[in-house]
Amino acid sequence: MSQQPTEFSMPTPSCYTDPERSGLGAGDLFAGITEHLFFTLGKLATNATPHDLYMALSYAVRDRLMTRFLAGKEALANQPSKTVAYLSAEFLIGPQLGNNLVMLGIEKEAAEAISRFNNSDIAKILDVEEEPGLGNGGLGRLAACYMESLASLEVPAVGYGIRYEFGIFDQLIRDGWQVEITDKWLKGGWPWELTHPDQAVFVGFGGRTEGYTNEKGEYRARWIPAEHAIGIPHDVPVLGYKVNTCDRLRLWRATASESFDFYSFNIGDYYGAVEEKVGSETLSKVLYPNDGTDEGRRLRLKQQHFFVSCSLQDMLRNLDKRGIPATEFPQHWAVQLNDTHPAIAVAELMRLLLDDKNLEWDVAWDITSRSLAYTNHTLLPEALEKWGLHLFASLLPRHLELIYEINRRFLQQVRLKHPGDDSILRKLSIIDEDGHKAVRMAHLATVGAHHVNGVARLHSDLVKSSLMPEFAALWPEKFTNVTNGVTPRRWMALCNPPLRKLLNDAIGDGWLHNLDELRQLERYQHDDGFLQHWEQTKLGVKRDLAAYIHSHTGVLVDPASLFDVQVKRIHEYKRQHLNALQVIAQYLRIKNGQGDGIAPRTVLFGGKAAPGYYMAKLIIRFINGIAETVNSDPDMDGRLRVVFLPDYNVKLGERVYPASDLSEQISTAGKEASGTGNMKFAMNGALTIGTLDGANVEIREQVGTENFFLFGRTTPEIEELRHQGYRPWEILETLPELQQVLHVIEQGHFSNGDTELFRPLVDNLRGQDPFFLFADFASYMDSQNQVSQAWSNRQHWNRMSLLNTARMGYFSSDRSIKEYCEHIWKATPFPITISAAADKEINS
């Protein structure tokens, strides 16, 4: 992917070489902070608060990003290169200040500059930053990692999404239950965005379509929307690691086309005067509105169309501005659909090309199908979006017409391959004809995309064999795999400074550019002194996490115990309740005098349950019930602690991953698409206990089977159990330890004597067990016994830990992005060198 740097030789603005704007020394940053305190924030340095210093330092760092951002923008305008457009409903980018300091390589300089303000501590300043509420889970975090890697690999890219005013929710735990409160992440201001109201676009909804004849005598259709919203772009710079490439997120905020109705106001209808404004701005109000109601589903579909339409219009406008015809769209834009949320792009791009650009159908379809690619992130049927035809027609009538025509032409192809086979037509049709008729968004994306990829080798195989076998048979060349990856800059260098120092001292810092260089660590696997240093490094970050746990939950944990961690979205298929059952089993063994050989453990859980997902919320209550009982039992002192970490997010993850000893990746085989938390744990030296699911399969291959605690049935074995008619009550009869566990739960031992509280959970497992906990329980307990045995030999454990880190190079998001660029996007690097005069200053 190498390419010669592009010399950016326009006349250099003075701010490019102004030390207060572009200098990277501590003195330059101090001057920049002081300037922004005074001129931007209206504060004197003598009475600046930590929040003031955070804002001023952020603005000073943003100045350095702008030099690179504008230089790259100008270079691309003068010498166009294919740009990746990553469309995603989520970008879980995490705090930006610390990450940008790493990208610029100025962490020490920033710390020194901040210390000049009343001996302020950079760690406390960094902790001020709110978590941006722009994403929820792995999908959004992956998008953030990919954007960072695109910039680090110097590939031009724009991440398109929504600028949510409120995140999904902040999580409190009250009486053991999850309580959702509003995530007001913007309340203190956010210095990382640039608003461009001059580049706003209109987006329509509802209304009707009508036919007409154009000046050439050709029949055409036009859409006459009943309402409009305006999308205002907010750009967030995304800098690559120690390069001049600065890509961007372009996030759309919705506003009304007419914000205030004077007539309504003057006749006393004060709500009516602002009704359009309120309705339009709801589009970018909150991430993932509850789709359990008709209005919630309507809003979610409107959100998806809103950001997709804004983004595609923006891309076409960019071509217009450069004098490039729309027919060349595929040469300049590679559009990636991150799951089904942006799948409406297939119909919207066709609409824009047909109705706005007046292209013929075949030309428009060729452009669309050569521009769009689709990533599938799930095998769960309920996560594959479908929209009822009535809802779709009421919101997007023109798009539904186009989808009908796309489907008609597509099914003609299918008929040629499968004449007389109506069953395959029903399976492949974009329109689901069974029950309530609906538009299948995954089908639409698959028909319209030139590539469809899964996100782990096993997942991609299951997409072809189980989820979309008929599509894969029709277009085998369209289906491929790109195993997920995560950025080592945030998930090792930023979040684990002690490990970073240890690695740099041992093998140099080249691993930050090329994670495969971690393999050099293998030469230390038999060095007892180095392994001892490795353990002490881990113990240091565990002490930090223990202090955080005590200050936020009141629970005292022993940093020397095994930190056994499961942090991720709470869902039955992820099986947090399987982990909880084994915790009870360990607890009962200790209580019954059978605890010899059990490693002292601190079991940590964290994650959010969807507000309408009762069983997931009950699992949280279950875990907290166990924690309350275990932590108050003197018999467990020094043996077992259980903690649920509230409001798990990127900031908390940056504390948890470095301090973890054991990573619980225990989803039912065949259910997890990939996982990325599993990668972050292993990169930081945690050992994995897991099933052969998602990327676990490839992680185990890379780190070595002897350095991975495997348990559970495989995907084919799970399918065979399901096919035979799974009867969990019969398996329970063979598991006396599990029977005892369920008995104490039913007695109310973990619910203050309430025998009904957890009955739905137990009854569900006994009667259905949809995710095969009982089937895997015995194997899981055997594997946990192996964990305790391995922990007892600390040098052996340290060696396994080191080898997990050493062999994780494959799971860098840089590798994933290279594969996307080479095999799907056909995008190449576009390095930027900012003119000789500025380059000396900027890259010094």
Q: Which residues are catalytic?
A: 377, 568-569, 574, 676, 680
CB 158 within 8 A of CB 248: yes
From the list 61, 31, 67, 35, the residue with the least C-alpha distance to 837 is 67
From the list 777, 786, 785, 745, the residue with the least C-alpha distance to 762 is 745
Q: What is the 3-state secondary structure (H, E, C) of 406-465?
A: HHHHHHHHHHHHCCCCHHHHHHHCCEECCCCCEEEHHHHHHHHCCCEEECCHHHHHHHHH
CA–chain centroid gap for 89, Å, is 10
CA–chain centroid gap for 142, Å, is 4
Q: How far apart are CA 677 and CA 697, in angstroms?
A: 14
Number of H helices, E strands in the chain: 36, 25
Q: How far apart are CA 86 and CA 249, in angstroms?
A: 9
Q: What are the CA-CA distances from residue 92 to residues 85, 147, 163, 252, 301 (Å)? A: 17, 11, 12, 15, 21
The three-state secondary structure class of 344 is: coil
Task: Annotate 258-268 with b (16+ C-beta within 10 A) or e (fewer).
Answer: eeebeebeeee
What would the two tokens of residue 408 be? 């008609």
What one-letter code names the amino acid at 632?
S
Q: How far apart are CA 681 and CA 805, in angstroms?
A: 9
CB 677 within 8 A of CB 695: no
Q: How far apart are CA 114 and CA 107, in angstroms?
A: 11
From the list 491, 471, 469, 369, the residue with the least C-alpha distance to 429 is 471
Q: How far apart are CA 751 and CA 744, in angstroms?
A: 10
Name the β-bridge partners of 663: 565, 688
Q: How far apart are CA 259 and CA 263, in angstroms?
A: 12
- Write down the H helix ranges in 508-613: 528-553, 576-591
Residues 6+ apart with CB under 8 A from 526: 799
Residue whose pair of structure tokens reads 């329109």 in the numeric block? 431
The three-state secondary structure class of 22 is: helix
